[in-house]
């Protein structure tokens, strides 16, 4: 289970937190910065590919057969989990801020229509050679303002299992003061 700390959320439906996105209780919808060619080999995309290979296959097939453009959103749902791929980057190029803005707007509409209350994401589009986090963070707050769907942005990864292991170790260690 992750600790969720809201760092900034005044009058908006975007929260900024730290923790283990994929281990956060009750969070069943995720979004990531997607490459337009369907590859998912780096960052959070690779974690999603490993955990939900059927999603990765469906996304790659969609990109090859239908195509995927800047600002597009590919939505996939199975077993109560929804994943949104946001088309913001061509392989080998820097992500586009305007494409992220457009994709986020579409994501919020799709999530609302699917009756999804919260969508989790990491510092989207800000990997190596990516977008400036300060600008992206501001945009996430603005796009998410007064929306019925809450964007839960994990600014810092903190492995959920580490906290659980530390608690277990502390409980099983003898008390030195006894």
pLDDT digits over 94-146, tens only?
999 999 999 999 999 999 999 999 999 999 999 888 999 999 999 999 999 98
* Domain of 85, in residue numbers: 14-172
Rounded to an integer, the average pLDDT of 158-175 is: 55
Q: Is residue 5 part of a domain?
A: no
Helical packing angle, 133-144 and 97-113, nearest 10°: 30
Residue with structure tokens 């996304």?
59
Which DSSP state fits 27?
-
133 within a domain of the structure (yes/no): yes
pTM metric for this prediction: 0.83
3-state secondary structure of 34: strand
DSSP letter assigned to residue 148: S
| Greatest alpha-carbon span in the chain | 68
Q: For residue 177, is it within any domain?
A: no
Domains of the chain: total: 1
Lowest mean pLDDT among 8-17, 51-60, 111-120, 147-156: 8-17
pLDDT tens-digit series, residues 156-166? 989 886 545 44
């Amino acid at each position: 289970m992750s600790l969720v700390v809201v760092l900034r959320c005044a009058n908006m439906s975007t929260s900024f937190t730290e923790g283990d996105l994929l281990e956060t209780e009750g969070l069943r919808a995720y979004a990531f910065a997607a490459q337009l060619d369907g590859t998912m080999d780096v960052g959070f995309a690779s974690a999603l590919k490993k955990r939900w290979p059927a999603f990765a296959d469906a996304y790659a097939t969609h990109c090859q057969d239908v195509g995927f453009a800047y600002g597009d959103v590919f939505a996939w749902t199975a077993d109560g989990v929804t994943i949104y791929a946001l088309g913001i980057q061509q392989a080998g190029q820097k992500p586009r801020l305007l494409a992220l803005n457009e994709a986020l707007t579409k994501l919020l509409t799709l999530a609302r229509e699917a009756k999804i209350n919260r969508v989790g994401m990491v510092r989207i589009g800000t990997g190596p050679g990516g977008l400036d986090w300060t600008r992206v963070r501001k945009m996430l707050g603005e796009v998410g303002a007064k929306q019925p769907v809450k964007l839960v942005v994990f600014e810092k990864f903190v492995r959920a299992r580490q906290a659980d292991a530390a608690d277990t170790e502390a409980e099983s260690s003898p008390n030195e003061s006894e």
